[in-house]
Amino acid sequence: MPELPEVETVVRGLRSALPGRRILSVRLGKTDFIDDPAALGKHLPGRRIVAVERIGKFIRVELAPENGAAHPAPSSAHEPTEAGDGRLHLLVHLGMTGRLAVRSPQEPVVPHTHGFFDLDDGNELRYTDIRRFGRILLVPAAGLPEFQSRLGEDALFVSAREFSRQLARRRARIKALLLDQKSLRGMGNIYADESLWRARIHPARLAANLSAEEVARLHQAMRQVLRAAIRLGGSSISDFLDAEGKPGSYQMRHRVYGREGEKCFRCGAVIKRIIVAGRSSHFCPRCQPTPRLPRKRARTRQSKK
DNA sequence: AGCTCTTCCTGAAAGC
DNA sequence: TGCTTTCAGGAAGAGC
């Protein structure tokens, strides 16, 4: 499932293909994961892509202001002005199974492809999403700060000071807090588990109960894990592929995620899986000691890789 | 405030 | 063997 390193990998790939391109037209299949499907066809054609960035797990495709000369379609009289002029941002969240990639029209369309953005170089940007847990929305430049303000700082760039401030403020379990995009943006289940293992912290620990040393360890572990994962192109568990259709290889480095029943690489104890904050959480019961109040029933099922 | 449960969706895997 | 059920999970919303 795409988390920060996977999204970063996709963004880097798209960055070599999209900036400078103009969107000619938009074709959509199913649209139940798009905030305002009609807005895409209305505002994107004629726009030039100027940048591709990452906001947490969102891909941000920045579009230049319309320049009347190249504008192919007349816009209706009562367009909201903030969407009719100025920059626009196409935000894409890949959810669980989303993929965004540039393809030649010649290439066969894989099933569950619901979005086609035709580009002026003859290629098309395709959005594919089997489960449609993804999300696509269009935000005017003026609305971007508000959108960003609903998310915490990026997990890759957050300072040790701000990280510890986030943890101290709240009493949630550390695993829940790492996954909460309002506290910290970009973390997902895999990298939360991997970071906690590396920092030797049990996922069900209460954030406020972590020692300063543990917080520092977790901050460092998180950054190391994310950086290493980006270096390897992310993790390909189910079907993650980068913008060029290649899998990542960080799944080879997983120490706990998907390793229930196997031995801890550090101490040899058997990796366990429990549910914390509604998410399956993998940990080493010896390296990551259970907090005082034992957690809920461990659900026993082998998880694949 | 933060937890659990539910919903969305599909395909893989388990169950019978 | 083949049909049916269960399950996974990011995020949001409801209810407690």
Q: What is the structure's pLDDT at A101?
A: 93
pLDDT tens for residues A270-300? 999 898 888 899 999 999 998 865 444 333 3
Residue for token pair 């259709």: A245
Is 80 exceeded by the pLDDT of residue A208? Answer: yes
Answer yes or no: is A278 CB < 7 A from strand B.
yes
Task: In whole angstroms, give the CA distance from residue A200 to residue A105.
Answer: 49
Answer yes or no: is A294 CB < 7 A from strand B.
no
* C-alpha torsion angle, residues A78, A79, A85, A87 (rounded to 10): 170
Is 50 exceeded by the pLDDT of residue A62? Answer: yes
Find which of A44-53, A58-67, A143-152, A290-299 is predicted with most confidence, using mean pLDDT: A44-53
Burial code of A46-55, b = ≥16 C-beta within 10 A, e = fewer? bbbbeebebb
Global pTM reads 0.88
Residue A134 CA and nucleotide B12 C1' are separated, in Å, by: 20
Answer yes or no: is A296 CB < 7 A from strand B.
yes
